[in-house]
Amino acid sequence: MSRFLKVKCKCGNEQNVFGNATTKVLCLQCSKPLAVPTGGRVRIVGKVLKVL
């Protein structure tokens, strides 16, 4: 089941990320990666705050 995740970056920005994203998700403020695709689920680099 696919879900959205609220992820917090090290810079403090909170952003929603799709759990099965196929491309690298970057922070909108500092451009550091928040999620990296692994073929199925993404590997979350930031801190997961909530599952939406």
Please give the domain boundaries of the chain with CATH numbers for all domains.
Answer: 4-51 (2.20.25.100)
Mean predicted confidence (pLDDT) in 25-49: 92
- pLDDT tens digits along 14-32: 999 999 989 999 999 999 9
Both tokens of 4, joined, read 């959205």
- Return the higher-pLDDT residue of 25 and 2: 25
Lowest mean pLDDT among 1-5, 17-21, 33-37: 1-5
Burial (CB < 10 A; 0-12, 13-18, 19+), residue 34, is buried
Under the banding of pLDDT at 50, 70 and 90, the label for residue 48 is: very high
Within 8 A by CB and 6+ apart from 14, the residues are 6, 7, 8, 49
